[in-house]
Chains A and B, each alone.
Chain A
Amino acid sequence: MPKQRVMVIGGGLAGLAATMKLAELGIDVDLISLTPVKRSHSVCAQGGINSVNARTRQLGDSEDLHLDDTVYGGDFLQHQPPVKEMVYWAPKIIDLMDRLGVTFNRTSEGHLDNRRFGGTLFKRTAFAGATTGQQLLYALDEQVRRWEAEGRVKKFESWNYLGPIIDDAGICRGVVAQDLISMEIRTYPADAVIIATGGCGLLYGRSTMSLVCNGGAVSRTFQAGAKYANAEFIQVHPTAIPGADKLRLMSESARGEGGRVWVPRTPHDERSPREIPESERYYFLEERYPEYGNLVPRDIATREIFNVCVHEGLSVDADRQCVYLDLTHIPREELDRKLGGILSIYEKFQGVDPRDEPMKIFPAVHYSMGGLWVDYERTADGGLNIGSPVNQATNIPRLYAIGECDYQYHGANRLGANSLLSCIFSGLMVAPGIETLLESSDDGTAADQPSSLFEGARRQRQQNFDALLKRPGGGENPYLLHQQLGEVMTRTATVVRFNKDLEQAYATVCDLEQRAAKCSLSDTGNWTNQNVVFTAALIDMFPLAKTLLKGALQRDECRGAHYKPDFAMPGLEATDPAERRRQAEAWCDKFEERNAKWLKSTVAVLDEDGEPQLAYEEVDTSLVPPRPRLYGLVGAEAIEEVWKERVAVN
């Protein structure tokens, strides 16, 4: 009898963590990835990974505070038990990565050094220079190579996942994939399939993400019937360097190490930044958010930078939007040791040394909080039942999702350095659940399923592929359509959103989708055809783009990264104490009303016509009761006072 096997799609941090843990449990794993796994997008992560540590603990920190920061930063839109479990595992994950040889920065005594990231007051973030993602990914890649050498893991690199194989009972029995070199389409029976294919930044044309982050794998899973949740929550990172091909990230760690954001008080001041005296600089984040300063959560920093440039006209340059991110007050040696990796990116692409000159930066699309809907099994004390096959399971039996492509951990806004954590955590944690699943299976292995199931799935995909190759000439150009999609998404569904724009964008995207169906290929060959692979990925972007826009359109509120000025809850205006009190009461009423209606995950399915249908699902907020997110709001104290009284009464 053939042995059971697990298929992992994607070898970023999440996929590799799952692979090595499954291998350790004695389970055979196949691993499919578009790129050699060592080149996965996770290498781009710069700043670091969060956990409570010995030092922060002595300053009053705890796992529960990490949980609190994460859900408060995420505007309470995430189920709390998985987050709780994650933050309790975090210190152990850092220890493991340390043992695996990650070259984390050290203190003089030889312990791990830590820096502070946004949305917290504690220095929780462990880091390896400014290339933490690269170092973490390599450590996992090395372990997986070790298992590969032992024959427990088989890697299929340069393979493109085309979709799950689902039997008549609705159970996932494997996947169909295509070799990007020979273009051969093949089926892989699997007793469980894990999707770990990362984010979908390419929906926006250019972003901080890598070129393979096209969302294709997730879209194909969604089109096969998996639910997709919270699509509208897209993080726009406050600080990136623009480029013709990519908006390169300038990590939050630059601010974590003391970097300061400012603009000249005089609009478009022509002097060189170093000649502008302190008194003529506007450190707008520090002035407006004295407590968190430059390290407010990302959604807030992004909107402020936008605001200062667009509404207040204080952009550094007259012909484009940008603000200064200044590190020049920090000693060069320290910068090299802690931030070398990102400073060299700036130097390489801008030709300016950020140790001497402040960098010019502006926000860019960065991370997708939403993703494939997944489940979890809660314990009585609010953690997860580790070993439950329900954890990280999609609504399709035996199909799982982990890493950036699940929706589970970050709610409406992700805190910096929490993603590397959620990727490794979900990867390690899904494995024991799958072990339970495999042990309890009594209907044979996937390979025992009728061969007609696999042959049918293969034939279907082969026909789609052949049809695409045979498109008549003279049609639409997929690269130009992609550019147009990116433009409309970026214009309407990033930092500030308006319903009329979103409606128009939806129509435009539907139109582009129809045009994409008429793309012509400039390469119709059957060998390493990147043209057809790109076109297929483009076609698969539309279901996700439409779900995102529809979710944004329907959600008439502001929450985390989703910001609609027409539904904002401004601060208090009154100065008279009684009136101010009344306004604070009204504010809190409105807040409660808003939560009653919108403190819900958006859960999408595609109907038969390929249109997204949305439903709303309650969020488990039983561990940390939701409270107003008041960073920098006028009248915050008055609102907080009223809110505390209400909580005390209940």
Chain B
Amino acid sequence: MLFDYFGGQCPPYAMSDQHPEIDSFEVRVLRQDAPGERSRWERHRVTYERDMNVISALQKIAAQAETVDGQPVAPVCWDSNCLEEVCGACTMLINGRTRQACTALIDRLMEDCPGEIELRPMSKFPVIRDLVVDRTRLFRALTKVKAWVPVDGYLDRGQGPLRSMEEQQQSYPLSECMSCGCCLEACPQYTKIESTQDESESDEDFSARKSATYDSAFVGAHAISQAVLFNTNPIGKFIAGERLDALTGPGGIQMCGNAQNCVAVCPKEIPLTTSIARAGRSTTLHVLKKWFDR
């Protein structure tokens, strides 16, 4: 049929020898209805199809809304958008590993652990519901390190500074950071912060209090790497000192224990430990310089 390809569920191009011989598999999900509620495990059975990933399994779970024992349940909540590992939305713990759900192919998972998949929300961020977590802190860190180029404005000023191919090839990988948070989940120094709004507190006050708490805790590898990216940008480096101040203050780079877990889990293979080492050297010099300038 002409359009089977598009509309139907027919599988695309085969890697024919690599498919497991199963009709269905089980997904164990750690669910939590809301912040502060207790979490519980729930089991779902999903019919196997070729070329599925964890997102398509979750879509099936949402459509059937029934556990393995035939118990009707609300669909599991999760985050996703691009489905091709560029938006950073779908981070979760899959069989215990922090990674993107959209590139977690069922065929590969079945090779590691036949017949069963375990899904948990990230542990370093407050759970909103099920697999959805609040990663505001991750974005807040980008504000803290001023991860932007401080241009004068958006009127025409001709072309930007020339940059060598080599510089581009060093910057480009850092600019691929999609704020997924895998590096933070894996980092022993990055610990969970969960705040609750007081009844008397306005939304604005609550979010200001949260930001202040976040700012005093560890910024994380992704933000250190962004600071390096902008400190090596020809215009970005005009405020390099301000970024280094942020990295030497509370929650700064000194908290990094150099465990290198971050670099091992980054789905974008960003050379985080190289960034951390570079930032470390710059901050040391920066502190010394400030000390001498006193």
Give me the interface of A with B, judged by CB distance under 8 Å.
20-21, 24, 35-36, 38-41, 43-44, 92, 95-96, 98-112, 128-129, 131, 134-135, 138-139, 142-143, 145-146, 148-149, 181, 204-206, 210-212, 241-248, 310, 317, 320-322, 337, 341, 345, 348-352, 360, 362, 364-365, 428, 477, 479-480, 486-488, 490-491, 494, 522-525, 527-531
In the complex with contacts A128-B172, A477-B63, A522-B65, A494-B3 CB distance below 8 A: yes
Complex interface: chain A residues within 8 A of B172 (CB): 103, 128-129
B156 nearest CB neighbor, chain A only: A92
Please state if B81 and A39 are interface contacts (CB–CB under 8 Å).
yes
In the complex with contacts A110-B162, A244-B11, A246-B84, A530-B128 CB distance below 8 A: no
B89 nearest CB neighbor, chain A only: A39
Q: Interface residues of B: mostly helix, strand, loop or mixed?
A: loop
Is B175 in the interface zone, CB < 8 Å from A?
yes
Complex interface: chain A residues within 8 A of B63 (CB): 477, 479-480
Can you offer 12 A-B residue contacts whose CB atoms are under 8 A? A35-B81, A40-B87, A44-B87, A99-B149, A103-B172, A105-B168, A111-B162, A134-B176, A245-B53, A345-B85, A524-B74, A528-B132
Please state if A244 and B13 are interface contacts (CB–CB under 8 Å).
no
* Contact residues of B between 97 and 155, Cβ < 8 Å to A: 102-103, 105, 128-129, 132, 135, 139, 142-143, 146-151, 153-154
Is B248 in the interface zone, CB < 8 Å from A?
no
Is B6 in the interface zone, CB < 8 Å from A?
yes
In this complex, which of A39, A40, A365, A486 has the most chain B Cβ atoms within 10 angstroms of its Cβ? A39
A159 to chain B, nearest CB (A): 13
A94 nearest CB neighbor, chain B only: B159
Given A112-B159, A523-B75, 17 more pairs with CB closer than 8 A = A24-B153, A24-B154, A44-B84, A99-B160, A102-B175, A106-B165, A142-B149, A146-B146, A243-B51, A243-B53, A245-B52, A248-B84, A349-B51, A352-B15, A428-B154, A524-B74, A527-B129
Measured CA separation A23–B121 after assembly (Å): 36
The digit string for B8-41, where 1 denotes a CB below 8 A from any CB of A, is: 1111110100100000000000000110000000
Measured CA separation A529–B130 after assembly (Å): 11
Please state if B151 and A244 are interface contacts (CB–CB under 8 Å).
no
Complex interface: chain B residues within 8 A of A322 (CB): 13
Please state if A95 and B156 are interface contacts (CB–CB under 8 Å).
yes
Measured CA separation A181–B33 after assembly (Å): 12
A394 to chain B, nearest CB (A): 25
Please state if B62 and A528 are interface contacts (CB–CB under 8 Å).
no
Please state if A99 and B62 are interface contacts (CB–CB under 8 Å).
no
Complex interface: chain B residues within 8 A of A350 (CB): 13, 15
Please state if B7 and A43 are interface contacts (CB–CB under 8 Å).
no
Is B217 in the interface zone, CB < 8 Å from A?
no
* Contact residues of B between 155 and 174, Cβ < 8 Å to A: 156-160, 162-165, 167-169, 171-172
A429 to chain B, nearest CB (A): 11
A518 to chain B, nearest CB (A): 17
Please state if B81 and A101 are interface contacts (CB–CB under 8 Å).
no
Complex interface: chain A residues within 8 A of B169 (CB): 337
Please state if A106 and B89 are interface contacts (CB–CB under 8 Å).
no
A528 nearest CB neighbor, chain B only: B129
Complex interface: chain A residues within 8 A of B51 (CB): 243-244, 349
Is B256 in the interface zone, CB < 8 Å from A?
no
B32 to chain A, nearest CB (A): 11
The listed residue (B10, B85, B147, B165) touching A142 by CB distance below 8 A is B147
Complex interface: chain A residues within 8 A of B15 (CB): 350-352
Measured CA separation A142–B86 after assembly (Å): 17
Is B251 in the interface zone, CB < 8 Å from A?
no
The listed residue (B6, B163, B233) touching A106 by CB distance below 8 A is B163
Complex interface: chain A residues within 8 A of B148 (CB): 101, 142-143, 145-146
Please state if B34 and A527 are interface contacts (CB–CB under 8 Å).
yes
Is B179 in the interface zone, CB < 8 Å from A?
yes
Measured CA separation A491–B74 after assembly (Å): 32
The listed residue (A96, A110, A245, A522) touching B154 by CB distance below 8 A is A96
A212 nearest CB neighbor, chain B only: B81
Complex interface: chain A residues within 8 A of B158 (CB): 95
Please state if A528 and B149 are interface contacts (CB–CB under 8 Å).
no
Measured CA separation A527–B178 after assembly (Å): 27
Please state if B83 and A103 are interface contacts (CB–CB under 8 Å).
no
Please state if B147 and A145 are interface contacts (CB–CB under 8 Å).
yes
Complex interface: chain A residues within 8 A of B167 (CB): 106
A209 to chain B, nearest CB (A): 9
Please state if B9 and A244 are interface contacts (CB–CB under 8 Å).
yes
Measured CA separation A348–B4 after assembly (Å): 24
B164 to chain A, nearest CB (A): 5
Measured CA separation A561–B120 after assembly (Å): 44
Please state if A103 and B74 are interface contacts (CB–CB under 8 Å).
no
A206 nearest CB neighbor, chain B only: B6
Complex interface: chain A residues within 8 A of B154 (CB): 20-21, 24, 96, 428
Please state if B52 and A210 are interface contacts (CB–CB under 8 Å).
no
Complex interface: chain B residues within 8 A of A96 (CB): 154, 156
Complex interface: chain A residues within 8 A of B86 (CB): 43-44, 131, 134, 341
